Amino acid sequence: MSIDRKYFEEMEAKIPHGKVRTRFAPSPTGYMHVGNLRTALYTYLIARHAGGTFLLRIEDTDQGRLVEGATDVIYRTMAECGLSHDEGPDVGGPVAPYIQSERRDTYGKYAELLVERGHAYYCFCEKAESEEDSGEFDRADDPCRDLPLEEAKARVAAGEPYVIRQRIPKEGTTTFHDASFGDITVENKTLDDQVLLKRDGLPTYNFANVIDDHLMGITHVVRGSEYLSSAPKYNLLYEGFGWEIPTYVHCSPVMRDAQHKMSKRNGDPSYEDLKAQGYLTPAILNYVALLGWSPRGEQAEQEFFTLDELVKAFDISGISKSPAIFDIEKLTYFNANYLRNLSPGEFCKVATPYIRESVKNEAYSVSEISSLLQARCEKLTDIPEKVDFFDALPEYDVEFYTNKKSKTDAAVSLDMLQKVLPKLENLPEWTNDAIHDMLVSFAEELGVKNATLMWPLRIAVAGKLVTPGGAVEICHILGREETIARVKAGIAKLS
């Protein structure tokens, strides 16, 4: 075994320099949790803000955790969110491949290089994988750490199974800098000689990410703060290779409440879940951007940001190191605002499937129903229940006809419905204006408030106390025949 210098030189030559380069490096788990989405977003924003390059790398070294179709969820989420990557498994790029399992040979070579440079060693000890992963063993006693390299190489050549471990200095301290957490110093004796290359030749995550970030020319590493404690070991690896250390940006977790991190396992919603709950992607992104980042200066008070506005405003110094609490109410507030700001056509497009969940009768105009809903829903999933009365008049309580403000009770309502029925039957045309004008002038003729006439009519045609839209719009959508049938049913109920 001799080190192939040319290989390493060629790899170095491929690394792009001179621009900000960031990567989103998800493990394919089958869903995108909120913290992950936030990492993707911040990573994207840092690159775009600086006119740099954003790349996607799939970290699938943990083969045991692979989930079928999981990378599709990643691609789909990124595309829906508009977080377009410049390099990645699907689009290629100068430092391909972008999937860790396809880079397997690279890690082995670099692990050997690190052994050669004295910062790693072959270890032949029988240790359980779990022990390797947790790092809970006494490295001081590892007999392989002090094996002469020639002897170790001979055992490797003879086919003895081995792992490659990082050789952490026994003394001294390691300091690393994080953009939001500042300088952190740890005593080297608290760090374990972690496994870099496993018995099966696959790298551990802790090794692969350093190799890839270097070979992909990553300038800013954005990730969850659960990796903060591994950062000193990463620094020692970069130093062991003689490589420049990227800027670390660790983000505090997104919490469900003061004590608990959000977690899919405990039922907290992922990005896909939020969408299924009726939230719009731009609203989710906007809210997630503010979970752990705040704008500065002129925009300090601004809440609503498009993705382009975020690109302009985003600054690493605005990232907070305190954990952010995910507040569904706040997201709902953002969502309601986004829904209201859509054009009527856009709103209709997103609302249609939800309207059609309960309004199956094609005769009822989806765009008219949608225009009633736009100002009245906070999330799309509110819709089906709000418009369920179109297809079938619900069983309703006669008490609904009594309303103090409208000056109605059962007797007044019966009178109103009986009087308005022929008017509806004989109305020359069935338009919103015609219905409206007739009702208003008829109320005047009867000497009653508009509401005294409109309230019972709305109850009769909708059978609900609260409806999107008033009597006029509902009658118009239902059409003359159905309106008359429902008014007659109301009269029967009240008689």
Least distance in Å: CB of 30 to ligand GLU?
12
- Its sign, for the CA torsion 75, 77, 82, 86, is negative
Least distance in Å: CB of 115 to ligand GLU?
24
Give the up-direction half-sphere exposure of residue 432: CA atoms within 13 A in the CB hemisphere. 7
Distances (CA, A) of 294 to 181, 253, 394: 16, 15, 47
Q: Which residue has the tokens 């019966």?
A: 414
Tokens of 348: 């209709």
Least distance in Å: CB of 352 to ligand GLU?
36
Residue type, 240: G
Give the interface with ligand GLU as residue ranges (CB under 6 A). Answer: 25-27, 59, 209, 223, 227
Burial 320-350 (b: 16+ CB within 10 A, else e): eeeebebebeebbebbbebbeebeeeebbeb
189 is a catalytic site residue? no
- Cβ distance to ligand GLU smaller for residue 237 or 283: 237
* 3-class SS string, 206-272: HHHHHHHHHHCCCCEEEEEHHHHHHHHHHHHHHHHHCCCCCEEEEECCEECCCCCECCHHHCCCEHH
- Cβ distance to ligand GLU smaller for residue 62 or 388: 62
- Its sign, for the CA torsion 301, 306, 307, 309, is negative
Least distance in Å: CB of 33 to ligand GLU?
10
- Cβ distance to ligand GLU smaller for residue 323 or 479: 323
Closest CA to 145 of 190, 104, 97, 193: 193
Helix (H/G/I), strand (E/B), else coil: 274? helix
- Cβ distance to ligand GLU smaller for residue 59 or 273: 59
Distance of CA 205 to the CA centre of its chain: 23
Residues sharing a CB contact under 8 Å with residue 281, sequence separation 6 or more, in sequence order: 80, 81, 275
Least distance in Å: CB of 156 to ligand GLU?
29
Exactly one of 109, 153, 264, 488 is catalytic; which is it?
264
Distance of CA 360 to the CA centre of its chain: 32
- Cβ distance to ligand GLU smaller for residue 227 or 243: 227
- Cβ distance to ligand GLU smaller for residue 209 or 286: 209
- Cβ distance to ligand GLU smaller for residue 48 or 57: 57
Least distance in Å: CB of 362 to ligand GLU?
46
Residue 44 · residue 76 · CB < 8 Å? no
Least distance in Å: CB of 27 to ligand GLU?
4
Active site residues: 264
